[in-house]
Amino acid sequence: MTSVSKILLLLLFLWISKVNLFAQDSFDEQFNLAKKLYDEEKYFDAVTEFKRLLFFYDGDIYRYESNLLTGLSYKNGSIFSEAIQHLTLAELNSKNIDEIFIARLEIIKVNILRRTTARAFTLLDSLQNDSRFVNKIDEINYWRGWAYIFSDDWRNASSSFSAIQKDHQLSMLCDSVANDLYNPQLAKILSLVPGAGQFYTGEYVSGVISIGWNVLWGYLTINAFMEDRVLDGLLIGSLLWWRFYSGNIQNAEKFAIEKNLEKTNSALRYLQNDYKGSKP
């Protein structure tokens, strides 16, 4: 081969390399554009550009990350079913264990957010039982704790967080919420003494009113029997006293449930607005 031929061949190779790089650039550019939109929190446009890339791109390089970020964009827009769909595609296109773990964890977080916590627990169990993720147990416990929070099971949430660290901030928070909650069954039992259940839940006015009604109808019932007006006594006792007595029990249970809802909502508000750690 003459030196001129060699130079020509070299030039040809250089030209091919240049065009190859350029081709790679156009998909890179598209990916970077979509990623930039995602970073700027322009989720609608980010999804459009990721979808455009995925539609025209046949290779595997961008498939995982594009689907993952599309899923996260949908998640940020609270379109959870689409989010799960794309996160599942991300998991299917993952190239290593870390990518599988990240994608599945994101699916779990979406399930926590949309309160399909049974599905979240199933996926957490699958991660925990998978020997590839033995070194990720703390992270699995952390999200299990969050799944328990969204299932309104604060005791188990606390146990999950304390499995990571004895005095984990969220473990203490969950413990304090669990300790603060009223027991609706206890409220009902206490109400066998009219008003006591209401006093237990801090509803003092309602407790006093409940005592008043029960004293009034109780007095009229007993008085009727003492004066031998048996029919009066039976009717007042069965239709009025009993009505107010059973109402007092139901009322106490209702207060306990309402107060618990207030307390858990307040804890969730704190977690949403003030907690600095990772959130679903």
Partner 1 sequence: MRNLLIVIFLIPFSVYPQLSSFDFHSPENIKLFADHLFCEGDYLRAIEQYGLLKDHSVNDTTDFKMMLGYSKLGLYKESNKYFNGIDDKSNFYSDAYLLSLKNELLLEPKLIIASNVQSLDSIQLKSYRRITTISMLYEAELNIIREDFISPFDEDERNAVASFYDFKVDPNYKSPALAGTLSAIIPGSGKMYVGEWGDGVTALVVTSLFAFLAYDNFRTDHTTRAWIFSGLGAFFYTGNIYGSIASAQIFNAKIEFEFNDGLNLFLEQNNYFLPVYDFCK
CA 210 to chain centre: 38
Q: Which two tokens stand for residue 253?
A: 């249970």
The least distance separating partner 1 from the CB of residue 253, rounded to whole angstroms, comes to: 23
Measured from the CB atom, is 48 or 88 closer to partner 1? 48
The least distance separating partner 1 from the CB of residue 34, rounded to whole angstroms, comes to: 11
Measured from the CB atom, is 27 or 80 closer to partner 1? 27
The least distance separating partner 1 from the CB of residue 106, rounded to whole angstroms, comes to: 21
The least distance separating partner 1 from the CB of residue 247, rounded to whole angstroms, comes to: 15
Residues within the interface to partner 1 (CB under 8 A):
1, 5, 9, 12-13, 15-16, 19-20, 22-24, 26-27, 30, 47-48, 51-53, 55-56, 220, 229, 231-232, 235-236, 239
The least distance separating partner 1 from the CB of residue 221, rounded to whole angstroms, comes to: 12
Measured from the CB atom, is 81 or 129 closer to partner 1? 81
CA 38 to chain centre: 23
Helical ranges in the chain per DSSP H = 3-39, 43-56, 63-76, 80-92, 97-113, 117-128, 137-150, 154-162, 169-180, 184-190, 196-200, 204-226, 230-235, 242-273
The least distance separating partner 1 from the CB of residue 72, rounded to whole angstroms, comes to: 17
Concatenated DSSP letters for 149-199? HHTT-HHHHHHHHHTT-TT-HHHHHHHHHHHHS--HHHHHHHTTSTTHHHH
Measured from the CB atom, is 81 or 273 closer to partner 1? 81
Q: Which two tokens stand for residue 115?
A: 């309160």
Measured from the CB atom, is 160 or 221 closer to partner 1? 221
Q: What letter represents residue 279's amino acid?
A: K
Measured from the CB atom, is 23 or 261 closer to partner 1? 23
Grouping H, G, I as helix, E, B as strand and the rest as coil, residue 115 is coil
